[in-house]
Amino acid sequence: MTDELTQIAWDEVTEQAALGLAILFPDKAGQAFLTIGPDDWYRPQHKELAAVVGKMLRTKQSVDAVTVFGQVQAQGLTRYWDAAKIFGLTQMAWRPESASQIAGRLRELSGRRKLVSALSVESRRLQSLSDDDGAAEVRATTARLRAACDAADETAADKETPLPQRMHDFLAADTAERQWLVPGLLERMDRTVVTGAEGGGKTTLVTQLAACMAGGVHPFGGNVMGDGSHSVRVLVIDCENSADQSRRRYRWVIDRVKSVREQHGFVPVDWNEQMCIDTRPAGIDLLSGKDISWLEHSISATAPDLVVLGPLYKLHHRDPSEEMSAREVAWVIDGLRERYGFALLTEAHAGNGTDMQGNRVMRPIGSSLWRRWPEFGFGLRRAKEDPGKPRAEIVDVVAWRGAREERAWPEKLQMGHTLPWIPDPDYLATMDDYH
């Protein structure tokens, strides 16, 4: 069976095409050709000729059927290769733009052969083990298989990925204009985590941030941004509340955003265009391919500038304190964020611990990864002057991680009549510094 698999994992025509392209189109196909390693060729005669052509390309020699045959003669390799066979290879070369795809195919087949070979060797070794060999040999076998997998993966990898930029060239490039979703407050690609105690108002604040941005209203200033056409598309994935709960909360906040626009004489917002929402009160599992695919489809279809996702503890079904699970979830979110270019806003519950002054610690519960991961982390802590009702009415806005850049977040919020949360008057005086 192993011999059959090895025989299958090669492609004579593709090997010939790769050689032909390099000989006929060295300028267009040469770079891709050089990504094919010596061990990636199955036919010995193809490996032999590839070494000749590769050396000519690397040393900047002229490459064509005549010069290649000249090198073959000079190196005494005419046992298999003559002028007719080399010219025949060029008849297999049709499209130089396919060189990268052909090189990738040969590397992928080479990776398969390496895996088959390693599996065959280790299978025979395991079958010959005696009872005295014990677990140590099994561990050694798994280590060798891991190394074989790494080697196969490296072989099949895309070798034409651009190298890192040199620093002088990097600094010489023009710096892109900042892509503010809210000037001075939230930039595209930012990750922001809002924490707080139960009933502390964090979900209301997240709702306010989302609805205000979709409605073109500054979330804390309460003013319509720009000429009223400022547009931020928002996707909400609520993993904690039922559809009815979310509907009531968003209707309440959006009605207030509508009032702000009306009071300042601005036209209404098309909320179907600006906001989309899905509620998953049971949570989602971003360790599951099915839920990852669903989330990516939702993001791709709605093209949001801001994704409101969470809370964090409802994004997978394992122990929320487990570091590896949190790391995998963060990797999934960051991959989506990089591909689709959105900012992320999420919430998390604060721990029950207190600091040396007796104030509740605002860092998120669960894995410590979430304390390091976002660019910005703010907690809503009930202020000392709060009247003490079941729901907080005055809160201190506490930064629980060092912000990576300065942003215009208020230091205190209180329940208001225009928007649910409004800052203290001193905050409004500082807003112009961030425009």
Model pLDDT for residues 72-120, shown as the tens digit of each residue: 999 999 899 999 999 999 988 888 888 988 998 898 898 888 888 888 8
Give yes or no: residues 103 and 187 share one domain.
no
Residue 435 has pLDDT above 80, yes or no: no
Residue 161 lies in a domain: no
Residue 430 CA to residue 175 CA, distance in Å, equals 26
Q: Using a pLDDT cut of 90, give the percent of the chain over it.
A: 65
For CA atoms 230, 236, 240, 242, the dihedral sign is: positive
Encoding tokens for residue 69? 């045959």
pLDDT at 245: 97
pLDDT level of residue 7 (50, 70, 90 thresholds): low
Helix, strand, coil percent values for the chain (each to nearest 5)? 50, 15, 40
Residue 398 lies in a domain: yes
CATH of the domain at 220: 3.40.50.300
| Contact call for residues 431 and 408 (beta carbons, < 8 A) | yes
Give yes or no: residues 62 and 211 share one domain.
no
| Contact call for residues 19 and 11 (beta carbons, < 8 A) | no
- 306-310 sheet: strands from edge to edge: 275-279, 234-238, 306-310, 343-349, 191-196, 376-382, 394-399, 412-415, 421-423
pLDDT level of residue 8 (50, 70, 90 thresholds): low
Residue 172 lies in a domain: no
H or E element that contains 412: strand 412-415
Residue 170 lies in a domain: no
CATH of the domain at 121: 1.10.860.10
**Average pLDDT over every residue of 234-249:** 97
Domain end, chosen from 109, 140, 156, is at 156
Give yes or no: residues 354 and 414 share one domain.
yes
Give yes or no: residues 380 and 346 share one domain.
yes
Other Cβ atoms less than 10 A from the Cβ of 104: the count is 18
Residue 355 lies in a domain: yes
pLDDT at 166: 85
Residue 233 has pLDDT above 90, yes or no: yes
420 cis-preceded (ω within 30 degrees of 0) = no
- Most confident by average pLDDT, 81-95, 148-162, 261-275, 416-430: 261-275
DSSP string, 318-375: S-TT-HHHHHHHHHHHHHHHHHH--EEEEEEEBPS-B-TTSPBP-SBSS-THHHHSSS
Look at residues 370, 366, 372 and name the one whose alpha carbon lies nearest to residue 402.
372
Give yes or no: residues 201 and 309 share one domain.
yes
- Three-state secondary structure call for residue 404: coil
Write the pLDDT tens digit of every residue in 197-227. 888 899 999 999 999 999 999 999 999 999 9
Residue type for 159, please? K
Domain end, chosen from 102, 121, 156, is at 156
Give yes or no: residues 16 and 127 share one domain.
yes
Give yes or no: residues 308 and 238 share one domain.
yes
pLDDT level of residue 130 (50, 70, 90 thresholds): low
Give yes or no: residues 228 and 88 share one domain.
no
| Contact call for residues 344 and 307 (beta carbons, < 8 A) | yes
Residue type for 164, please? P
pLDDT at 432: 57
Write the pLDDT tens digit of every residue in 379-407. 999 999 999 999 999 999 999 998 888 89
pLDDT at 119: 86
Residue 368 CA to residue 134 CA, distance in Å, equals 38
Q: What is the mean pLDDT of the chain?
A: 89
Give yes or no: residues 386 and 259 share one domain.
yes
Write the pLDDT tens digit of every residue in 27-46. 999 999 999 999 899 999 99
HEC string of 136-155 equals HHHHHHHHHHHHHHHHHHHH
Residue 82 CA to residue 400 CA, distance in Å, equals 73
- Three-state secondary structure call for residue 34: coil
More confident of the two residues 9 and 310: 310
| Contact call for residues 421 and 392 (beta carbons, < 8 A) | no
Q: Using a pLDDT cut of 70, give the percent of the chain over it.
A: 93
**Helix 65-74 vs helix 44-58: crossing angle, to nearest 10:** 110
Q: Which residue has the tokens 């906001």?
A: 275
Other Cβ atoms less than 10 A from the Cβ of 152: the count is 21
pLDDT at 95: 86
**Average pLDDT over every residue of 347-371:** 89
Give yes or no: residues 285 and 373 share one domain.
yes
Give the CA dihedral 400, 403, 409, 415, nearest 10 degrees.
-20
Give yes or no: residues 234 and 310 share one domain.
yes
Residue 167 lies in a domain: no
| Contact call for residues 388 and 371 (beta carbons, < 8 A) | no
Among the residue ranges 146-160, 246-260, 322-336, 344-358, the one predicted with the least confidence is 146-160
Residue 40 lies in a domain: yes
Residue 171 lies in a domain: no
Residue 433 has pLDDT above 60, yes or no: no
Our count of domains for the chain comes to 2
Give yes or no: residues 211 and 86 share one domain.
no
Tell me which residue range forms the domain holding 283.
180-434
Q: Answer yes or no: pTM beyond 0.85.
A: no
